Amino acid sequence: MEEPSRTVNTITEQQKRQIEGLVQELNEASRVYYNGQEEIMPNYRWDELFDQLKALEEETGYVLPDSPTVSTGYEEDNSGEKENHEYPALSLAKTKSVEELKQWAGDREVWLSWKLDGLTLVLTYDNGKLTKILTRGNGTTGTNITFLKDSLFGFPDTISYKGHLVVRGEATISYKDFAALNDMIEDDDEKYANPRNLASGTLNLDDPAEVKNRHVCFYAFTLVHMDEELVSWGERMAFLTEQGFAVVDHEKVNADTLPEAIDRWTVDVETGKMDVPVDGLVICYEDTKYAAGGSVTGHHATRAGFAFKWQDESVETKLSYVEWSCAVSTISPVAVFEPVQLEGTTVSRASLCNLSEMERLGIGEESTLEVIKANKIIPKCISARDAKGELQIPKECPVCHAPTEIRVSEKSHTKTLHCTNPSCAAKHVRKFTRFVSKNAMDIDGLSVQTVVKFINDGFIRRYGDIYRLEEHLEEIKQMEGFGEKSALNLKNAIDSRREISPIRLLYGLCIPMIGLDAAKKLLNTLGWEEFYHRLRNKTSFEDVDGIGVEKSNSILNWYGEEEHAKELEYLLEQVTLLPLERAATEGGSCKGLTFVITGDVHYYKNRDAFKEYVEAQGGKVAGSVSKKTSYLVNNDVESQSSKNKKAKELSVPIISEDRFVEMFVKE
């Protein structure tokens, strides 16, 4: 390593080795993190080691040039053309203290917004046209990915503003799209760890069509430069919205109102309302001229903004046992412990991820565990002590009892446990749960646990078996958790889905690379009869817009397997396919309109069901309010939320869900 960049105070050889080791470990984790590879360190662990490193550097004055405390990012491994940023993309100072945020705000107005968990991109416009997209890279130099401009969402190709414009924002993949894309990957070792990991890997791809299929959305979080002087940060964000950008949610506050706003925003994370991944909050000054007047300290500008990361509340509890859960082929350890209160909820289980994480924690048959909710959502074990006895790794699969084997990833050297039986029932769970999901057959009462139980009892082997579960009704009534009423409810739920949209059926078949959008493109273009005719005659689908060679081959290869062809034929005997016009509901009452849906809903089962209705009626649903929005639907019409404020600024009508039903739902 190079010589340290600061004067060294008193330092021991042990401290020196510890600092060098932490820098190496953190930088390797960052390299993987920024390049979409298999994650080797969870975020909370990275933050913990970063804090250790920072404390050691402050104590000793020994700071290496490549220390993550002074670097501004990490250069991507991809082979794209590297370019210098016109304006360096420096990091924000971070804190877990609300008091520190208040002190930073002082007596000035500030804006609160999400710290989105994706990849920062910088967009440049000249003469009203998008001319460049750079990744953040190391903050000084990024990778030019302008060739992907038609494959990303959330920003316009052209704008009405004709001057020089530079916009910085975050490219993200929603939890919903993340889950759908991961379901397409059959090899567990190739699955992505989280949406940010997937977004990073996606922007390293060379195929624009594949990038577009992954629904990467850009949210602007700051206007870096425009030729005219516009001092107000809020007005700048409003300007970006008017130009057609999706912008990060934001709310104006001050030091006095900041704590209450943070609590309110935190509830949205804790209650799972956020479909876009976030890992904290950001505040920035309303007065951008004042903000630009700060100095640069270390790897951040002192007035550019302040990032807030939630202080993880931790509790200690006693391990009861480790449950081994088999999903697809991976057998994952889950710690089951004495119930504890954490972030306002009762928690009694937490994933241990894999064998490597168990070894790192040092968990025994008996252990005292320290548990947190990472980013206020996911229970995690972060430490273990007082371990007694050696925890036994199962030698047979808990589902089919076939032998297990330990595999070590070539990329990250992570140890995972796997079932060796290719016919293990658990390996079919994902396809069946997708088949009954709300975007496919939408059958209530068939949870993952219930599907596993029915598979193990021999009730389900093929999709069509779901429609014959009534043959096992008496047995189901006797099962734990069922009874007469719930068994009949399940039968009724299945019967209500015997007439189904061909689009839902095609999506539910779990054909690799064929998600909901691809299913819509295929069937809206061809219709079911032509699609099925081509399938049976092994005729290409490449001519369908948005499908291409890879997806076409995937469909034909899937049907080319005899068991899949027979499974589809058997399924078609159990259901009736609706005409596409009927499946899309005839009237098209939302045709040509764009809606933004926010807050809780009650008429529809959830927001996805609401969105599905709008799209079936020819409308569109967007994530943020812009001048293109026809209606904002919010049951709290008088709310002071950022979306309501934006709608009022742009004179977009705000209507309740009930009013929407009155206007657009035809009984």
What is the percentage of the chain residues whose pLDDT exceeds 90?
Answer: 34
- Measured CA to CA in angstroms, residue 20 lies from 14, 26, 65, 67 at distances of 10, 10, 11, 9
Q: Tens digits of per-residue pLDDT, 81-117?
A: 889 999 988 888 888 889 999 999 999 999 999 999 8
Q: Residue 667: exposed, middle, or buried by beta-carbon count in 10 A (0-12, 13-18, 19+)? A: exposed
Task: Indicate the Cα dihedral angle 109, 114, 118, 123, nearest 10°.
Answer: -40
**Which whole number is the average pLDDT over 548-574?**
92
What's 360-393 look like in SS3? HHCCEEEEEEEEEEECCCEEEEEEEEEEEEECCC
d(CA 49, CA 47): 6
Average pLDDT of the segment spanning 385-411: 86
The pLDDT score that the predictor gives to residue 198 is 85
Does the annotation count 115 as an active-site position?
yes
* H or E element that contains 82: strand 82-84
Token pair of 353, please? Answer: 């991820």
pLDDT of residue 584: 46
| CA nearest to 329, candidates 397, 278, 375 | 397
Average pLDDT over residues 165-192: 76
Note whether 371 and 350 are within 8 A (CB): yes
Kindly report which listed range (299-303, 332-336, 351-355) carries the lowest average pLDDT score: 299-303
- Identify the pLDDT of residue 42: 63
Q: Which of 16, 115, 438, 620 is catalytic?
A: 115
Predicted TM-score (pTM) of this structure: 0.57
Within 10 angstroms of residue 297's Cβ, the number of other Cβ atoms is: 11
Q: Confidence band (pLDDT; 50, 70, 90) for 38?
A: low
In the structure, how many helices (H) and strands (E) does the chain have? Answer: 22, 26
Higher-confidence residue of 194 and 559: namely: 559
What pLDDT, on the 0 to 100 scale, is given for residue 245? 94
Whole-angstrom Cα distance, residue 34 to residue 75?
8
Asked if the model's pLDDT at residue 3 lies above 50, the reply is: no
- Is the Cβ–Cβ distance between 347 and 358 less than 8 Å? no
**Across residues 419-434, what is the average pLDDT?**
77
- For 108, the 3-state DSSP assignment is coil
**Rg (the chain; Cα; Å):** 27
> Residue 395 above 80 pLDDT?
yes
Task: Please state which of the ranges 392-396, 410-414, 476-480, 658-662 shows the lowest mean pLDDT.
Answer: 410-414
For residue range 605-624, what is the model confidence (pLDDT) as tens digits? 677 778 878 877 778 888 88
Name the residue with higher pLDDT: 194 or 44.
194
Determine contact, residues 219/154, Cβ cutoff 8 Å.
yes
pLDDT at 77 over 60: no
Q: What is the mean pLDDT of the chain?
A: 84
Q: Is the pLDDT of residue 406 over 70?
A: yes
pLDDT of residue 587: 47
What is residue 582's predicted lDDT score, i.e. its pLDDT? Answer: 42
Biggest CA–CA distance in the chain, Å, is: 79
Burial group, residue 402, by CB count within 10 angstroms (0-12, 13-18, 19+):
middle
The mean pLDDT of 269-285, rounded to a whole number, is 85
Residue 498: per-residue pLDDT: 92
CA distances from 352 to 146, 201, 218, 373, 558 (A): 40, 24, 32, 13, 34
Q: Answer yes or no: is pLDDT of 70 > 80.
A: no
pLDDT given at position 227: 92
Position 450 confidence tier, pLDDT thresholds 50, 70, 90:
confident
Query: 2 falls in which pLDDT band (50, 70, 90)?
Result: very low
